[in-house]
A = this chain, B = another copy of it.
Amino acid sequence: MREKADSDLVRRQNRRLVLDALRQNGPLARIELGRHTGLSPASITSISAQLIGDGIVHEVEEQLHPVVPIRRGRPLTQLDINPKAAHVVAVKISIDGIEIALADSRGGIISRSISRLATYDAEAASFGKAVAAEIAKQLKASHVAARQVARIGVAVQGVADSQAGTIVWSPAFRRRNIPVATVVQDELGIACSIANDANMIAEGLIGTNRDRYSGTAAVVFIGYGVGMGLILNGQVYHGPTGAAAEFGHMNHLPGGPLCRCGRRGCVEAYAADYSILRWASGNADSLPPSFTGIPEEEMRSLEAAARDGDPQAMGAYAKAGEALGYGLARMIALLSPTRIVLAGPGTRAIDLIEPSLRQAIDDGLVDELRRNVEIEVVPIHTDMIIQGTIEGALHQLDREVFAYGSLGKRQVALKDIA
């Protein structure tokens, strides 16, 4: 509401409406686009002609969806986002490895790779260049020129400063304030942004099912760490610098066990993989947090032990549930979301966690505030972060490039891509 309105804004907004409708509801005929967006058929004709002229949208050849079977009248011609309009790259940085995916502008993954790349001891000065080199390698292998890539999204555990383009602090790195986005951008000449990984999961959920996840919701990632993505009024909340929703490092109990961030009593220090193991081992207060990844088998066997009734193991999961529950109760008091999504490998043990989690929410939150929130567990699939990062990059692309179009300010950018 600080931008002045003129015909330029109108066009941009309506182009976005059309693009959003196409992204959300697959290929659509012009008349259907009109219904989705509220625009008149005449306007849809005009807008889609422009989008087609810009190479962003194309008419679908094969009527793959005979949704409306055989009907009288002129048959509809479906439109869809042109996958060849541009490419995006998603990068996920984990401890000592990065995963890269190359996608077309419809979100279809063209190629992907996982490579080892030392992070924990990485130098701040060289890390960004190493990432850029990996991306370049991936592009080369897929025969895609850098100029065809419109945007790169990077997801990382921990605190990212999306303004500065740096990793402020992450358990995957010993050092702090590591520049990434700016370096990649300079090296490859491609717009690059960095964000927290849990925020990208939230982005992906919105992309997958906007109706369900677009109000006000929180996505909790439980696994090697604990993260959160907040969706407020239908948009992922990044905060002023991109460092928001650090649920994992929200304090649960003052003076509690030591967390990887160096403070005591964070939610993560109770509910992350390493924390649960530490509790199960019996002496959580004296043990330092673990900085190395924990093999899945180790967690699975702990789960099995708890399900077999091992009191130490059961207690550890109860602690985790309590910390998560009180943390969620606090979050609900502040933001009163309508939906909480639990995701990540940690949810394998949801049966062990849930009782104490529910109890904690009951004890920590007055009924009236607790009433309107639904908690759900989504099946784990590890790709959620990469998928969400692609989704996020495409959304940015729509907003910042495609909504403008060849007549807009971004003319150069668009030409370069196409």
CB distance from A195 to the nearest CB of B (A): 13
Give which listed residue, B5, B10, B363, contacts A254 with CB less than 8 A: B363
A contact residues, range:
35 or more
A45 to chain B, nearest CB (A): 15
Q: Check A410 for interface membership: any CB of B closer than 8 A.
A: no
Supply 4 further A-B pairs (C-beta < 8 A) apart from A4-B14, A176-B368, A251-B330: A1-B20, A169-B366, A263-B364, A334-B335
**A232 within 8 Å of B (CB atoms):** yes
Q: Least Cβ distance of A244 to chain B in Å?
A: 5
Q: Which residues does chain B contribute within 8 Å of A245, judged by CB atoms?
A: 334-335
Contact B363 A263 (CB under 8 A): yes
Closest to A246 in B: B333
Known: A4-B37, A5-B9. A338 touches B240 (CB 8 A): yes
Give the oligomeric copy count.
2
Q: Which residues of the other chain, B, contact A7 by a CB distance below 8 angstroms?
A: 10
Q: Tell me the smallest distance from the CB of A324 to a CB of chain B, in Å.
A: 13
Is A243 touching B334 in the complex (CB atoms < 8 A)?
no
Report whether A366 and B4 are in contact in the complex, using a CB–CB cutoff of 8 Å: no
A265 adjacent to chain B (CB < 8 Å): yes
Distance between Cα atoms of A253 and B244 in the complex (Å) = 23
Does residue A98 face the partner (Cβ distance < 8 Å to B)? Answer: no
A336 CB contacts on chain B under 8 angstroms: 239-241, 243-244, 246
Contact of A215 with B by CB under 8 A: yes
A333: nearest chain-B partner, CB-CB: B250
Question: Mask for A107-131, Cβ within 8 A of B = 1, else 0?
Answer: 0000000000000000000000000
- The 15 listed contacts between A and B (C-beta, < 8 Å) are A1-B16, A2-B17, A5-B5, A5-B14, A5-B17, A159-B366, A176-B368, A240-B372, A245-B335, A249-B366, A249-B369, A251-B365, A254-B364, A334-B334, A334-B335
Cβ of A279 under 8 Å from chain B: no
Q: Which residue of B lies closest to A161 (CB)?
A: B368
Is the beta-carbon distance between A10 and B10 smaller than 8 angstroms?
yes
Query: A52 to chain B: closest CB distance in Å?
Result: 20
Contact A250 B334, beta carbon cutoff 8 Å: yes
Cross-interface CB contact of A368 among B37, B243, B330, cutoff 8 Å: B243
* Chain B, residue nearest A230 (CB): B334
Known A-B contacts A5-B14, A216-B240, A334-B244; A264 and B363 likewise in contact (beta carbons under 8 Å): yes
Report if A331 contacts B (CB, 8 A).
yes
Residues of B within 8 A of A216 (CB): 239-240
Contacts of A11 in B (CB 8 A): 5
| Cα distance A215–B240 in the bound complex, in angstroms | 8
Does B169 lie within 8 Å of A368, measured CB to CB? yes
- Taking the complex as formed, is A350 at the interface, i.e. its CB lies under 8 A from any CB of chain B? no
Q: Given A1-B13, A16-B1, A254-B360, does the pair A334, B247 have CB atoms closer than 8 Å?
A: yes
Asked if residues B243 and A369 are in contact (CB atoms below 8 Å), the reply is yes
The chain B residue with its CB closest to the CB of A4 is: B38
Residues of B within 8 A of A234 (CB): 1
Q: Give the chain B neighbours of A349 by CB distance below 8 A.
A: none
Residue pair B241, A237 in contact (C-beta under 8 Å): no
Q: Is A168 an interface residue (CB 8 A)?
A: yes
| Distance of A262 Cα from B362 Cα, bound (Å) | 11
The answer, yes or no, to whether A261 is at the interface (CB within 8 Å) is yes
- Output the nearest chain B residue to A399 by Cβ-Cβ distance: B1
User: CA–CA, A216 to B244, complex, Å?
Assistant: 11
A28 within 8 Å of B by Cβ?
Answer: no
A337 interface residue (CB < 8 Å to B): yes
A359 CB to closest chain B CB (Å) equals 10
